[in-house]
Amino acid sequence: PFDTLGRVPIQPVHEADRILLPSGAVFTVLAVPGHTADHVAYQGEGLLFPGDTLFSAGCGRLFEGRMEDLFASVQRLGRLDPSTRAYPAHEYTLANLAFAATLEPDNRLIAQYRGQAR
């Protein structure tokens, strides 16, 4: 928030920067434009904080980014190790699955995932 300027430390980051936390955990900055033009994600060992780029059963919407960039960013995150656990910035699973079910009402995988998510 604007009123925290000067009180909250701000460190600009760029693609491939590494961030060392006091716990010893290391995160690498991934540039993932799309949601916004300069959106980033943070990848740690087996972990991903994708911000608003990727959600369970969905992806972020465009604010100032381009669809082509968002698509490329989602594809990039999709190439990470399948065991990577993602922690999106928001929880939209049920809403995303409800929307998906309107598009593919006979899709059993969507129905199964909705049952698990409830």
pTM of this structure:
0.87
Answer whether residue 8 shows pLDDT above 90.
no
Answer whether residue 9 shows pLDDT above 80.
no
Q: Please say whether the structural domain 2-90 has been given the CATH code 3.60.15.10.
A: yes
Answer whether residue 4 shows pLDDT above 80.
no
Answer whether residue 29 shows pLDDT above 90.
yes
Burial class (CB in 10 A: 0-12, 13-18, 19+), 46: exposed
- Distance, in Å, from the CA atom of 60 to the CA atom of 53, rounded to the nearest integer, reads 5
Answer whether residue 1 shows pLDDT above 70.
no
* pLDDT tens-digit map of 55-70: 999 999 999 989 999 9
Q: How many CB atoms lie within 10 A of CB 76?
A: 14
* pLDDT tens-digit map of 100-115: 999 999 999 999 999 9
- Distance, in Å, from the CA atom of 21 to the CA atom of 19, rounded to the nearest integer, reads 6
Domain boundaries, the chain: 2-90
8 A C-beta contact, residue 73 and residue 32: yes
